[in-house]
Amino acid sequence: MVKRISLEYLVTLVINMIVFILVARLFINQEMAAHAIFRLMTLNLAISAIEVGLYNWAFRHRQQPVTAMTHKVEAMLKDEEPAHVLLRKDNDYYELAMAINRLQTHQQKGLRSKAQQGEELRLLLSYLPIGVMVIDRYRKVEMANAAMAEFLQTEIKQRRHPYTQDIHQFELVSLIGQVFSEKKSARKVITLPGMPTEKRVEVSVIYTSTSEDFFQILVLLYDVTEIYAVEKMQMDFLSNASHELKTPVTAISGFAETLQAGAKNDPEALNQFLDIIQKESKRLTELIQDVLSISRIESQSISQQKMSDIDISELVDEQLSTLQQMASVKHIVLVNQIPVGEVQHTDERKVVEIIKNLVSNAIKYNRDNGSVTVDYEATEQEWKLKVTDTGIGIAQNEQARIFERFYRVDTSRTKQVVNGTGLGLAIVMELVQSLQGRISVDSQRGVGSTFSVTFPIKQHQ
């Protein structure tokens, strides 16, 4: 630009010289010496050279802001942060410089919020429990988060690489392959090997495209192991409950029908069958009550607890006296060893239910003339209730299972027929857990059992 303008100025200068010579020839005396013309020409040339210099200097001076703005825009294009171009208000380029400065501020804001969003997304992805992997159209991994690496039990390289380097599980590889060929999203629940146990994982392979040839595949893995386990537990509970309910109902209706069919006329059969019907009705009522208890505890939240200060010894006394009659049948002695005045802040109804269940089991599974003892221990953080009996005991391999719903130890060996639903200890466990406590059993076959429940000490609010 500067060169072009200097050239134009030189052309003007030459024309100026030619015009000067012509004018000199026309108006200046013929006898005027040639050397005088030469001198005048030299003077003209010198003046013109000074003019060119001045012109160039003025041009460069005017051009300076344009050069500065050009450099600034070039730096902005490289996402750099060049300094603002500051011009005087009377400068011709003042408005343009201000507009570029504003544009830069706007661009910086955009870049900063883009960087922040990028950082937020990176953080979100790194903490997300869902495995995320982005695969490009060349079947290469563009990005994968930590959860994905954990699901696949491998280290995923940052550099782009074929997804088959990370994913080896057949079902997963073929599901991704299917999405690539059909260009349609797909979803499936698969099993992935895991430590310590395998995992049920819901896989979503999402096909995303912005144009016909530009597309990406998003692989999402979501651990559904627990959801499946809860679902299975609910299904098991339902089928066990309906099975357990059906047994007494079938017995009641069966014996009632037999009576109607004529057995009622036999006084001995009548008495025997009515006895069975009554026993089965009682069992049915107990079962329904237990099933209702379990679902009530499950649906109650911790905030629904009714906490108050309870004298534990008094509470145990009350429960022992209500169970005294049951114990007397087998001549079992009930002993409360808790000193009076041991007060704890807890939910009375739940603790009552726990004591009732543990003591009644200790009586049910006891020998004649045995004993049931209730003890208490407390530290600064915890308090504990222990129910010890002198009964049949529980074999080591059964001890973990007795807390399962509907699980009953086969008592045929002991020749003791004890009625029960198999839900008592499951209810106790739910209650203990709802009070943030824990339960344990220590038992020896033929010697007896001790059930301990431990709770954290709660301060009166």
* Residues near ligand ADP (CB under 6 A): 361-362, 365, 389, 391-394, 402, 407-409, 420-426, 449
- Number of helices (H), then strands (E), belonging to the chain: the values are 10, 13
Smaller CB separation from ligand ADP, 145 or 388: 388
State in angstroms the smallest separation of the CB of 275 from ligand ADP: 21
DSSP label at residue 134: E
State in angstroms the smallest separation of the CB of 454 from ligand ADP: 18
State in angstroms the smallest separation of the CB of 137 from ligand ADP: 59
State in angstroms the smallest separation of the CB of 427 from ligand ADP: 8
Residues 115, 93 contacting (CB under 8 angstroms): no
State in angstroms the smallest separation of the CB of 292 from ligand ADP: 15
d(CA 68, CA 74): 10
Smaller CB separation from ligand ADP, 65 or 393: 393
State in angstroms the smallest separation of the CB of 348 from ligand ADP: 21
The DSSP result for 319-336, as a single string, is HHHHHHHHHHHTT-EEEE
Selection from 254, 164, 189, 176 nearest residue 218 by Cα:
176
Smaller CB separation from ligand ADP, 150 or 404: 404
Which residues, in sequence order, are CB contacts of 314 under 8 Å at separation 6+? 340
Q: Is 404 helix (H, G, I), strand (E, B) or coil?
A: coil
**Could you identify the residue written with the tokens 């005088």?**
36
Q: Which residues on adjacent β-strands are paired with residue 448? A: 444
Smaller CB separation from ligand ADP, 343 or 418: 418
Q: Are strands 438-444 and 371-378 parallel, antiparallel or unpaired?
A: unpaired
Which residues, in sequence order, are CB contacts of 449 under 8 Å at separation 6+? 362, 365, 388, 389, 391, 393, 394, 441, 442, 443
State in angstroms the smallest separation of the CB of 459 from ligand ADP: 32
CA angle centred on 182, ends 177 and 187, rounded to 5°: 65
Smaller CB separation from ligand ADP, 82 or 422: 422
d(CA 328, CA 173): 68
State in angstroms the smallest separation of the CB of 410 from ligand ADP: 8
